[in-house]
Amino acid sequence: MTDLAPESSSDAAAGNAQAYSVSELAFALKRTIEDAYGFVRLRGELSKVTFHGNGHVYLDIKDERASISGVIWKGNVRSLNVRPETGLEVIVTGKVTTYPGRSQYQIIIETMEPAGVGALLAQLERLKAKLAAEGLFETSRKRPLPAMPRVIGVVTSPTGAVIRDILHRIRDRWPCRVVVWPVVVQGDQAAAQVRAAIEGFNALDGAGPLPRPDLLIVARGGGSVEDLWPFNDEALARAAAASAIPLISAVGHETDTTLIDFVSDRRAPTPTAAAEIATPVYAELAAAVADYSRRMLQCGERALEHRRSRLAAAARGLPRPADLLALATQRLDLASGRLGAALEKNVSSHRQDHLRVAARLRPGLLERPIQVRQQRLGAAAERLAPAVHRRLERSVERLVALERQRLALNPDGPLSRGFARVHHADGRLVRGAGLLKAGEAVKMVFADGDRQAVVDGAPPEPSRVAAPAPASRAPRPRPSAADQGDLF
């Protein structure tokens, strides 16, 4: 610790006192206060509560005559038992220090708890009003409980009397499987563990070794308000409201009320009552089934007796069966007596008919149709040969005519008689002299080959005044092939 007092009054009077900077004085006071009040427990009312964007909480703690600033660092906010709110009376623990930047002292809060039952109940009422405004307490959102659950999930302490009472009561009433999720039901970790158990049961899909429960029971024995306070946690209440599995709340005794009771699908006054609500009585169901079976048999017997009486009454108005069958029986006896002789007579008649038909059957009867068909086949074969021969001759004549026509229409036929065929350079046939241009290359095809040629000049233009034709002119002799010259 740094001593800031002057060494003596004479030195101060002489002006020899040590001069400190503002920072030195501020941090010296900070160390002095922190050494003197390293850990304090403080009670007061919260005011000016501010949740900063970085996660820290700034507030004031006051009583009737004084006020002190406080700060809760981000790491300690999540571990608080209560949520800081203006007007809440609390007891905090922490370290007193100073803030040199503003020359003020403050307390660094590490823990916070409500100061008395009144503060807890006031905070609970505010939280209830908040959740009620969101509709979490509405009856319309509560789901019906399964009538005969196969698997029941229980969230409670595995070592208390509560789980023994629940298991004993379920075993006496209904044969089903009970899956226990062990949690602590008192203290700082209770709310988080119960919430994790509810979410864990809802996360089961039934495919693993643990089946998915049809019903959940959150149970705890009685206790004080502080003991039951974890079940007033907001996060736990929201997890219970969001549970997809119907949930029964059995926290405390009948007079105890917690926040989870309002959001659960059903509230039980005690854990034992929760087991009774969750399960039917097997013996009662078996007795009811037996009673229904007995009543069903009695109803069936009465219905059968009633119909038997009606049948007897109707039978009295009917004639006796023997009287109804007497005439038919007599006719049957008479017919059966004549049946043997009639059968013998019938067989004899058919035998005679067979003999008469067999006497007319001879091999010639079968051979005669065969001979007739053979004669018809021979005559048809004799007529078929000339017809086929005449058709072949007509086909040959048609084939010879087609061959002559093919030879006449063959474009290469005139080439053997001295003609030539002229083609354009691209192979198209030249069909007239007007289609050729001077200097155009053409191909002339002869019988023995083809030659290339170029069109030279143009045809002479006719004179404007036609010369008078001679009265008679002897025909000019046609030049011979030797006088034609060579075009190439």
Is 477's pLDDT higher than 60? no
Q: How confident is the model at residue 247 (pLDDT cuts 50, 70, 90)?
A: very high
Is residue 81 assigned to a domain? Answer: yes
224 occurs within a structural domain: yes
Position 203 scores a pLDDT of: 93
154 and 197 part of one domain: yes
User: Considering the domain boundaries, does residue 163 fall inside one?
Assistant: yes
Return the pLDDT at 298: 94
114 shares its domain with 154 = no
Band of pLDDT at residue 457, cut at 50, 70 and 90:
low
Is residue 461 assigned to a domain? no
* CATH number of the domain encompassing residue 91: 2.40.50.140
Residue 250 falls inside a structural domain: yes
Span 145-156, average pLDDT:
94
Mean pLDDT is lowest, of 208-217, 252-261, 459-468, for 459-468
C-alpha to C-alpha distance for 248 and 239, rounded to whole angstroms: 13
Give the number of residues written for the chain: 488
Q: Mind listing the pLDDT tens digit for each residue in 347-368?
A: 999 998 888 888 777 777 778 8
Give residue-wise pLDDT tens across range 390-407: 889 999 999 999 988 888
Decide if 451 is inside a domain: no
CATH of residue 258: 3.40.50.2300
Structure tokens at 341: 């002789």
**Residue 168 and residue 232 in one domain:** yes
Identify the band that residue 288 occupies on the pLDDT scale cut at 50, 70 and 90: very high
Domain extent for 166: 148-280
Phi, psi (deg, nearest 5) at residue 325: -95, -5
Query: Is 50 exceeded by the pLDDT of residue 3?
Result: no
How many percent of the chain have pLDDT more than 70? 89
Both 195 and 74 in one domain: the answer is no
Burial 121-153 (b: 16+ CB within 10 A, else e): ebbbeebbeebeeeebbeeeeeeebbeebebbb
Token pair 């399964």: residue: 146
Identify which of 77-91, 281-295, 462-476 has the greatest average pLDDT.
281-295
| Top mean-pLDDT range of 111-115, 166-170, 361-365 | 166-170
Among candidate residues 280, 301, 328, the one where a domain is terminated:
280
pLDDT at 182 over 70: yes
Same domain, 206 and 110: no
**Residue 103 shares a structural domain with residue 187:** no
Residues 268 and 161 in one domain: yes
Whether residue 169 sits in one domain with residue 114: no
Q: What percent of the chain has pLDDT over 90?
A: 33
Give the integer Cα–Cα distance in Å for 245 and 201: 8
* pLDDT (mean) for 266-275: 93
What is residue 264's predicted lDDT score, i.e. its pLDDT?
93
Ranked by mean pLDDT, which of 8-12, 149-153, 328-332 comes out on top?
A: 149-153
Q: Are residues 160 and 265 in the same domain?
A: yes
pLDDT at 373 over 90: no
487: in domain: no
Residues 187 and 271 in one domain: yes
The mean pLDDT of 328-337, rounded to a whole number, is 87
pLDDT of residue 323: 78
Average pLDDT over residues 235-257: 91
Q: Report the chain's mean pLDDT, rounded to a whole number.
A: 83
293 in any annotated domain: no
* Judgement on whether residues 69 and 164 belong to the same structural domain of the protein: no
pTM of the predicted protein model: 0.46
Q: What's residue 7's pLDDT? A: 46
pLDDT(38) > 80:
no
Number of structural domains (the chain) is 2
Q: Is the pLDDT of residue 20 over 80?
A: no
Q: Is the pLDDT of residue 459 over 70?
A: no
Kindly tell me if the per-residue pLDDT of 465 is higher than 50: no
Closest CA to 106 of 51, 57, 54: 57
> Residue 339: is its pLDDT beyond 70?
yes
Q: Looking at the structure, do residues 112 and 234 belong to the same domain, yes or no?
A: no
- What does the alpha-carbon distance between residue 110 and residue 74 come to, in Å, rounded to a whole number? 10
